Amino acid sequence: MRGLPFKLSLYIAVLSILAIGLSVGAIVQCSTSLNGLLAVAIFSLAIFVSDLYPIRLPTTDQAEVTVSCAFKTAAAIVYGPWVAIPAAMIGTFLAELAMKREWYKALFNAAEMTLTTAAMAAVYELLQTGSRMPFGSARNGLAVVAMMMTYAFTNTGLVAGVMAVARRMSLFHVWSSNFRDSIWNNLTIIPTGAVIAALWLLNPWSVLYLVLPVIVLRRSFEYIGELRNQTRATLVRMADAVDQRDPSTFMHSQRVAQYSAAIAQEIGLPIEAVDTIRMAGRLHDLGKIGMSNDLLYKPGAFDADELMTFRKHPQIGADLLAQFQFFDDGKGLVLYHHEHYDGTGYLAGLAGEDIPLGSRILSVADAFDAMTSKRVYRDPLTFEQAIAELERCSGTQFDPQLVEVFVGILRLPEWVEGVAQMSLAGGD
C-alpha cells in the first residue's frame, strides 16, 4: 500500500487479514460438502452481479448502494457463516476488480463487507432456534432484526474507521457526523434477504420468483438517486440563469459555492453538511430570477421601494426551494444568508448563533466574491482590500471565527492565485 499513510495502510491490512483468514477457514469448513461449495459459488455469483451495478448517490463523496446485501443475508440465514463469509469475500472482491477500483480500495471494500457479513451470520447463529426458517418463530424474526442492527453498526463503523484514520479524527465524531442520521436508509435490503432465504428453504427454485421484485427494488434505489440528481441539476440551471443575465455576476454562485465549501471543510463539518452548504452557495441568489433587469442592473443606489423589493430575494429563493423536497435542509441557509452577526441584517434580524451556521458561511463567501468582482456600480476591490473589509466587519456583519478561518484559507498560496483567476473569470 505504498503511498498511503502508515496508519491507514495498517487499518486496511488488519481488516484484510481478518477477512481473508475467516474466508479461508470457512472454505476449509465447507470443503467436505459439495452442496456447501456449490452454495458458495451460487451466492458469490449473485453478489458479484449485484455489485457490478451500483447506484451512485448524489453526494460529493460519490457514495454507492447495491442490493447485494440481500444475497449476503440470505446466505447467512440458509447456510450460516461457512457459506456467507467466503461468498461475500469472493463476490465483492471480483466485482471490485471488474470495476477496476484501485487495488487497496477493492481490498478494503471486500474485507469490510466480509466482516460485516460474518458479524450478521454470527448473530443469526446465536439467536435462531435451530430451524433456519427466518419467519418460523418469533425468535427467528428477532434474529433477523438483530442482523439489521448488526449490519447497520458494523458496516458504518468499519467505514467510519477508515475515514477517521485517513482524516485523523475521532471515530465517534466521524460516525455521528456522517452516518448517525442515515443509518437506516438501506436496511430494507436485509428483510428482502430474509424473504430470499425463506423461499430458498422451501424450494431453491422458488427464488426465481424474486428476480423481478429484486430488480424493482434496485430500480427504486436508482429512481430515487436519479430524482435527486435531476432535482439538483434543475436547481443549478435555474441559479446559472440568474448569473448569466448579468456578465458582471457570471459564475458568482459557482465561486460562492467553492468558497463556502472550503470554509465548511476547514471547520470540520461532515460530508453531508459540506455538500448542503455547497449547493446552497450555488442557489443563494435563486430568488433574483424573477426580478426585473432594471432593478438588477441599476448603477446607482436603490430607493426605498426598490430596496424592499430587492431584499425579498432570500425569501423568494427559499420559497422556490421549498417546492423541492430533496433540498429541504438548504432552504433555511438561503433564507438567512443576508442576516448580520450583530442582528442588523435582513430578513428576520437574527443575530449571532441564532443564524444558521451555513448561512453565516454563505454570508462571508458571498460578500468576498461580491467585493472582488466588478459590478455595474463600482470596480472590484483588490484581494487585500477585500480581506481588510472582511476583517473590519468581523463581529458586526460577519461571524468573527468564520472570517478568521476564511482569511486563513485565502492566504494559502494556491488560493491567492486561484482567487485572482476566479475573479477574472467573472467577466467585465
Residue 81 sits at φ, ψ, to 5 deg, of -60, -30
CA–CA separation, 76 vs 369, rounded Å?
Answer: 55
Omega before 347 within 30 of 0, i.e. cis: yes
- Short-list 351, 374, 174, 369, CA closest to 263: 369
- Short-list 74, 66, 61, CA closest to 92: 66
Tell me: domain 6-202, CATH 1.10.1760.20, correct?
A: yes
- Distances in Å between the Cα of 19 and the Cα atoms of 69, 82, 91, 385 are 17, 13, 13, 57
Q: Please, which residues bridge with residue 64 across strands? A: 56
Res 428: pLDDT: 38
Res 93: pLDDT: 94
Strands 55-56 and 64-65: antiparallel
- Short-list 418, 384, 424, CA closest to 251: 424
**Sign of the C-alpha dihedral, residues 219, 224, 229, 234?**
positive
Omega before 390 within 30 of 0, i.e. cis: no
**Sign of the C-alpha dihedral, residues 166, 169, 173, 177?**
negative
Hey, do 6-202 and 228-424 end up sharing a CATH topology, with the first three levels equal?
Answer: no
Unique residue bearing C-alpha cell 471515530: 171
The grid cell for 72 is 449476503
What CATH number has the domain spanning 228-424? 1.10.3210.10
Tens digit of pLDDT per residue, the chain (428 long)?
A: 556 788 888 889 999 999 999 999 999 888 778 888 999 999 999 999 988 887 665 544 455 667 889 999 999 999 999 999 999 999 999 999 999 888 888 999 999 999 999 999 999 999 999 888 998 899 999 999 999 999 988 988 888 777 777 766 666 666 665 565 555 555 678 898 999 999 999 888 888 877 777 777 677 767 776 777 777 788 788 877 777 776 556 688 889 999 999 999 899 887 778 888 999 999 998 888 878 777 777 777 788 888 888 889 899 999 988 887 777 778 899 999 999 999 999 989 999 999 999 999 999 999 999 898 876 666 788 889 999 999 999 999 999 999 999 999 998 877 766 665 555 454 43
Res 161: pLDDT: 79
- Short-list 94, 110, 107, 95, CA closest to 1: 107
| Structural contact between residues 277 and 362, judged by C-beta atoms closer than 8 angstroms | yes
Domain ranges of the chain: 6-202, 228-424
Res 133: pLDDT: 93
Per-state percent for the chain, helix, strand, coil, to nearest 5? 70, 0, 25
Q: Please, which residues bridge with residue 375 across strands? A: 378
Res 30: pLDDT: 80
| Structural contact between residues 47 and 87, judged by C-beta atoms closer than 8 angstroms | yes
Res 427: pLDDT: 44
| Structural contact between residues 416 and 410, judged by C-beta atoms closer than 8 angstroms | yes
